[in-house]
């Protein structure tokens, strides 16, 4: 068990409020989630500008609320920084406010203090949502399809191109850097509320770890048989082992992996909203995650404590 999971186990044991990607407040019928970004762990000032830092902070929380079936309504922002970084810290706050306004989310408070480097923490609170409408990780049903969004893998590729000097062609280099520095923000709450989604998890660590967690909590086997169509551009440019590694281990993609019995009309709704979903497998009786396209997979996801993949 890694350090992050040991801390999570300590605070979540016998705690009815803690609910997967978000906590659910039964008295007010709201979802609440919080995320932290730390300089030189999640970003640095050499490669990230103020807007990209604010954008990443927003994407973390926005995806968590949506993957639980909610609509974000309020936000809190706390920032700590050394005096020498006042200017860029001020810019981060300004950009964060602008992004909130774009998505009709109200900033209602926060805190500011000094520190040795920049620390950011944001908390999002959803609009009222009935508990029965909240999507969690444990309700995958036998016969469900397993779905996610297309083009997963570019975030890790962007990280490797920037920090490990991975040599890429011009097209892949630009696309991967864009996804890593400014991950695409996709609004899908309305679709999740119109379709019957049984279980879901935000892909912030990796697709592989998310599939394992959904399988574990649902006590079902996740049979994965179509990863080749997840990122056609990457499949074209990399050998199978490298391709599967990128798709399965890329972190901070900020899109959902979910299970559902989607109809043709449901899939059409996603397409009409310009969201490309891909069915990668099915939920079956049993346990664990089974991949038919590869025999072994070394799970090299991003570690926030080692600051690397």
CA-wise closest residue to 212 among 134, 142, 297, 129: 297
Of the chain, the percentage scoring pLDDT greater than 90 comes to 84
Our measurement of the distance from residue 293's CA atom to the centroid of its chain's CA atoms, rounded to an integer in Å, reads 24
- pLDDT grade for 5, boundaries at 50, 70 and 90: low
The superfamily (CATH) of domain 145-291 is: PurM-like C-terminal domain (3.90.650.10)
- Per-residue pLDDT of 45-99, as tens digits, reads 999 999 999 999 999 999 999 999 999 999 999 999 999 999 999 999 999 999 9
Domain ranges of the chain: 3-133, 145-291
Q: What is the mean pLDDT of the chain?
A: 91
Residue range 157-164: mean pLDDT, rounded = 93
Crossing angle of helices 170-181 and 154-163, in 10° steps, is 100
Token pair 């083009």 in the structure block, residue: 151
Q: For position 10, what pLDDT does the model report?
A: 58
DSSP alpha helix (H) spans, the chain: 3-12, 50-67, 86-102, 154-163, 170-181, 189-194, 207-218, 232-237, 240-249, 264-272
Residue range 31-41: mean pLDDT, rounded = 95
Domain 3-133 has CATH 1.10.357.10: no
| Between 123 and 6, residue with greater pLDDT | 123
- pLDDT grade for 141, boundaries at 50, 70 and 90: very high
- Per-residue pLDDT of 243-289, as tens digits, reads 999 999 999 999 999 999 999 999 999 999 999 999 999 999 999 99
CA-wise closest residue to 93 among 66, 122, 67: 122
């Amino acid at each position: 068990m890694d350090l992050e999971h040991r801390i999570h186990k300590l605070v979540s044991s016998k705690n009815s409020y803690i609910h997967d990607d978000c906590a659910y407040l039964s008295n007010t019928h709201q979802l609440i989630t919080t995320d932290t970004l730390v300089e030189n762990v999640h970003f640095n000032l050499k490669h990230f500008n103020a807007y990209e830092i604010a954008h990443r902070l927003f994407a973390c929380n926005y995806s968590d609320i949506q993957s639980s079936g909610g609509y974000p309504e309020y936000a809190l922002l706390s920032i700590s920084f050394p005096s020498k970084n006042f200017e860029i810290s001020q810019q981060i706050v300004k950009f964060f406010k602008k992004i909130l306004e774009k998505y009709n989310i109200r900033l209602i408070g926060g805190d500011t203090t000094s520190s040795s480097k920049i620390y950011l923490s944001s908390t999002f609170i959803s609009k009222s949502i009935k508990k029965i409408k909240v999507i969690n990780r444990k309700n995958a049903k036998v016969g469900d399809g397993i779905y996610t969004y297309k083009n997963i893998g570019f975030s890790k590729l962007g990280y490797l191109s920037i920090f490990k000097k991975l040599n890429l062609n011009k097209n892949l280099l630009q696309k991967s850097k864009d996804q890593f520095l400014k991950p695409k923000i996709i609004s899908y709450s309305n679709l999740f509320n119109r379709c019957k989604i049984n279980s879901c998890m935000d892909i912030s660590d990796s697709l592989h770890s998310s599939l394992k967690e959904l399988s574990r909590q649902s006590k079902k086997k996740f049979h994965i048989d179509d990863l080749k169509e997840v990122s056609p551009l990457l499949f074209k440019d990399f050998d199978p082992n490298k391709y599967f590694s990128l798709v399965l281990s890329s972190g901070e993609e900020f899109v959902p992996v979910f299970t559902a019995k989607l109809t043709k009309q449901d899939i059409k709704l996603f397409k009409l909203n310009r969201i490309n979903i891909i069915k990668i497998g099915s939920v079956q009786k049993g346990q664990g995650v089974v991949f038919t396209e590869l025999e072994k997979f070394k799970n090299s996801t991003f570690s926030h404590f080692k600051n690397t993949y």
